Amino acid sequence: MAAVRRQRTSYDNQTYVYGNVVPRPEYQPERKEVPQPKPKPLNQQVRKNRRRALKMGANYTAFLIVASICAVVVCVLYLQMQPSLMQYSAQVGNLRQELNELTEANNVAYSALNDTVNLEEVRIRAIEELGMISIGEGRVIKYQRPAEIHVIQHYQIPVTGVLANTQN
């Protein structure tokens, strides 16, 4: 046995043993057996019910087999669908990125077009070169909407855009 070093401490006159293992006692304590209580005799009906509960009938067994097969089929289908789901998810990500790029290009083109068009120049060209007539008093004709949903046109609209000469 390894040498055990003992050192006296000044407090409470106790002995401290250096080392990490406490020696086992040389003897094993005796164990006393506790007597088990005797089980009470069971009633005949109770025993019959317990036996019936432990039996698995044919219907119950068939149900468990069908339920197990359904669970396995669902798991297999799920595992088969998982890679395609990942593939579709990647495709959706690519399409979203493409949509963002197209939207950005569209916004840039729209802004560039709006910057190049001067609405005042368009109005002047439409009046002078194309013969557009500005709206004024007597040029707007108001009418009551008929009860029917559609409107019937009785006369052709002239090229000048004026239906009748109204002088006020």
Tens of each residue's pLDDT in the chain, 168 residues = 455 555 555 555 666 666 666 666 677 778 788 888 888 877 888 888 888 877 778 888 899 999 999 999 999 999 999 999 999 999 999 999 999 999 999 999 999 988 888 888 888 888 888 888 777 767 777 766 666 677 677 777 766 666 555 554
Q: How far apart are the first and last CA of the chain?
A: 133
Q: What is the pLDDT of residue 94?
A: 95
Q: What is the pLDDT of residue 12?
A: 55
DSSP label at residue 143: -
- Is residue 7 within a helix (H) or strand (E), and if so which, with residue range? strand 6-8
Q: What is the pLDDT of residue 33?
A: 84
Q: What is the pLDDT of residue 168?
A: 44
pTM of the model: 0.35
Give CA 144 to chain center in angstroms. Answer: 53
Q: What is the pLDDT of residue 67?
A: 97
DSSP label at residue 133: -
DSSP label at residue 152: -
Q: Tell me phi and psi for residue 100, to 5 degrees.
A: -65, -40
Long-range contacts of 135-143 (CB under 8 A, 24+ apart): 137/168, 138/166, 138/167, 138/168
What is the distance between the alpha carbons of residues 162 and 144, in angstroms, rounded to a whole number? Answer: 19
Q: Of 4, 47, 50, 37, which Cα lies nearest the Cα of 23?
A: 4
